[in-house]
Chains A and B, each alone.
Chain A
Amino acid sequence: MSLSALLPILALLSSLLAAVVIFALPESSHRLRTLVNLLAALLKLGVVAVMTWGVFRGVDFSVSFTMLPGVSFMLRADALAMLFAGLSAVLWLFTTIYAVGYLEDSPNRSRFFGFFSLCVASTMGVALAGNLFTFFLFYEMLTLSTYPLVVHRGTDKSLQAGRNYIIYTLGGGVALLLGIAWLHGLAGDLPFQETGHFQGADPALHGQLTLIFVLLIAGLGVKAGLFPLHGWLPQAMVAPAPVSALLHAVAVVKAGAFGIVRVVYDIYGIDFAYALGLLEPLAWLAAFTIIYGSVRALWQTDLKRRLAFSTISQVSYIILGVTLFGPLGAVGGLVHLLHQGIMKITLFFCAGNYAETLGVHRVDELDGAGARMPATSVAFTLAALGMIGVPPLAGFVTKWALGAGALAAEMEWAILVLLVSSLLNAAYFLPIVYRLWFCPIAAPWPAERRWGRLETHAWLFWPPLVTTLMLVLVGLLAATFVSPLSWAQLIAVRMYLP
Chain B
Amino acid sequence: MNGLPPVALIAASVLLPLLYPLLAARPGWRGALRAALPLLPLPALVLAMLSATPWTLELPWLMLGSTWMLDELRRSFLLLTALLWSTAGLYAVGYLGSEHLRRFCVFWGLTLAGNLGLVLAGDMVSFYTFFSVMTFAAYGLVVHDGSDRARFAGRVYLVMALLGEMALLAGFLLAAQAVDTLLLADLAAGIGASDDGHLITALLIAGFGVKAGLPLLHFWLPLAHPVAPTPASAVLSGAMIKAGLLGWLLALPIGEAGWGPWGQFLIVMGFVGSLGAALFGMLQRDPKTVLAWSSISQMGLIVVPVGAALAAPGHAPVLLPAIALFALHHGLAKGCLFLAVGLVLPASRILRVLLWLLVALPALSLLGLPFTSGALAKGVMKKALLATPDLPLAEHMPLLLQAATLATLVLVVRYGWMLWLKLEPGGAAACRWWGWILATLCSAVLFWWLPVVR
Contacts and interface: CB of A to CB of B under 8 A. Distances in A.
A and B touch in the complex (CB under 8 A): yes
B136 A407 contact: no
Contacts of A430: 158
Interface in A419-454: 419, 422-423, 426, 430, 434, 437-438, 440
Interface string B342-377: 000000000000000000000000000000000000
Interface in B90-136: 103, 125, 128-129, 132-133, 136
Contacts of B60: 479
25 contacts: A374-B25, A390-B136, A391-B63, A391-B125, A392-B129, A397-B64, A399-B169, A400-B125, A400-B173, A403-B170, A403-B173, A404-B176, A404-B177, A407-B173, A407-B174, A407-B177, A415-B174, A419-B166, A422-B169, A426-B158, A430-B158, A438-B140, A475-B63, A478-B63, A480-B61
Contact of A476 (B62, B128, B132, B169): B62
A408 B174 CA distance: 10
Given A390-B132, A477-B62, A404 B173 contact: yes
Contacts of B64: 397, 400, 478-479, 485
A423 B129 contact: no
A396 interface: yes
A400 B151 CA distance: 31
9 closest Cβ pairs, A-B complex:
A391-B129, A403-B173, A407-B177, A419-B166, A479-B65, A480-B61, A392-B129, A390-B132, A392-B63
A129 interface: no
A291 B136 CA distance: 23
Contact of B63 (A408, A419, A479): A479
A396 B129 contact: yes
A480 B65 CA distance: 9
A342 B24 CA distance: 25
Nearest to A389: B169
Contact of B170 (A374, A385, A390, A419): A419
Interface of B: 24-25, 60-66, 103, 125, 128-129, 132-133, 136, 140, 143, 146, 151, 158, 162-163, 166, 169-170, 173-174, 176-177
Interface string A456-498: 0000000000000000000111111000010000000000000
B338 to A, nearest CB: 23
A374 B25 CA distance: 8
Contact of B169 (A392, A419, A478): A419
Contacts of B166: 419, 422-423
B113 to A, nearest CB: 12
B132 A426 contact: no
A434 B151 CA distance: 10
A423 B136 contact: no
A407 B196 CA distance: 11
A473 B63 CA distance: 9
A438 B173 CA distance: 33
A14 B64 CA distance: 36
Specify the main secondary structure of chain B where it touches its partner: helix
Interface string A329-368: 0000000000000000000000000000000000000000
Contacts of B62: 476-477, 479
Interface of A: 370, 374, 385, 389-392, 396-397, 399-400, 403-404, 407-408, 415, 419, 422-423, 426, 430, 434, 437-438, 440, 475-480, 485
Contacts of A385: 136
A404 B173 CA distance: 6
Contacts of A404: 173, 176-177
Contacts of A396: 129
A50 B132 CA distance: 38
Nearest to B144: A438
A330 to B, nearest CB: 16
B129 A426 contact: no
A437 B140 CA distance: 9
Contacts of A476: 62-63
A12 B384 CA distance: 72
A147 B140 CA distance: 43
B177 A408 contact: yes
A423 to B, nearest CB: 6
Contact of A438 (B65, B146, B163): B146
Nearest to B143: A438
B129 A415 contact: no
A423 B133 CA distance: 16
Given A400-B173, A423-B162, A477-B61, A391 B143 contact: no
A401 B313 CA distance: 33
A480 B136 CA distance: 26
A370 B102 CA distance: 12
Nearest to A381: B136
Nearest to B178: A407
Contacts of A397: 63-64
Nearest to B65: A479
A475 B63 CA distance: 6
B172 to A, nearest CB: 9
A362 to B, nearest CB: 20
A435 to B, nearest CB: 12
A434 B152 CA distance: 13
A391 B176 CA distance: 16
Contacts of A440: 146
Given A390-B136, A423-B163, 15 more contacts: A391-B132, A415-B173, A415-B174, A419-B170, A422-B162, A422-B166, A426-B158, A438-B140, A438-B143, A438-B146, A438-B151, A440-B146, A477-B62, A478-B64, A479-B65
Nearest to A437: B103
A475 B174 CA distance: 21
A390 B165 CA distance: 9
Given A404-B176, A438-B143, A479 B61 contact: yes
A477 B63 CA distance: 5
Contacts of A423: 162-163, 166
Nearest to A482: B61
A423 B146 CA distance: 24
A382 B113 CA distance: 16
B141 to A, nearest CB: 11
Contacts of A392: 63, 129
A463 B64 CA distance: 27
Contacts of A370: 103
A423 B159 CA distance: 9
A391 B63 CA distance: 9
A209 B207 CA distance: 46
B195 to A, nearest CB: 11
A389 B129 CA distance: 10
Contacts of B103: 370, 437
Contacts of A477: 61-63
A367 to B, nearest CB: 12
Contacts of B169: 389, 399, 403, 419, 422
A277 to B, nearest CB: 25
Contacts of A438: 140, 143, 146, 151
A450 B65 CA distance: 44
A426 B162 contact: yes
B173 to A, nearest CB: 4
B140 A391 contact: no
A1 B375 CA distance: 84
A397 B136 CA distance: 18
A367 B162 CA distance: 23
A400 B128 CA distance: 11
B59 to A, nearest CB: 9
Nearest to A401: B64
Contacts of B177: 404, 407-408
A415 to B, nearest CB: 6
A222 to B, nearest CB: 32
A475 to B, nearest CB: 7
A280 to B, nearest CB: 20
A415 B170 contact: yes
Contacts of B143: 434, 438
A439 to B, nearest CB: 8
Contacts of B61: 477, 479-480
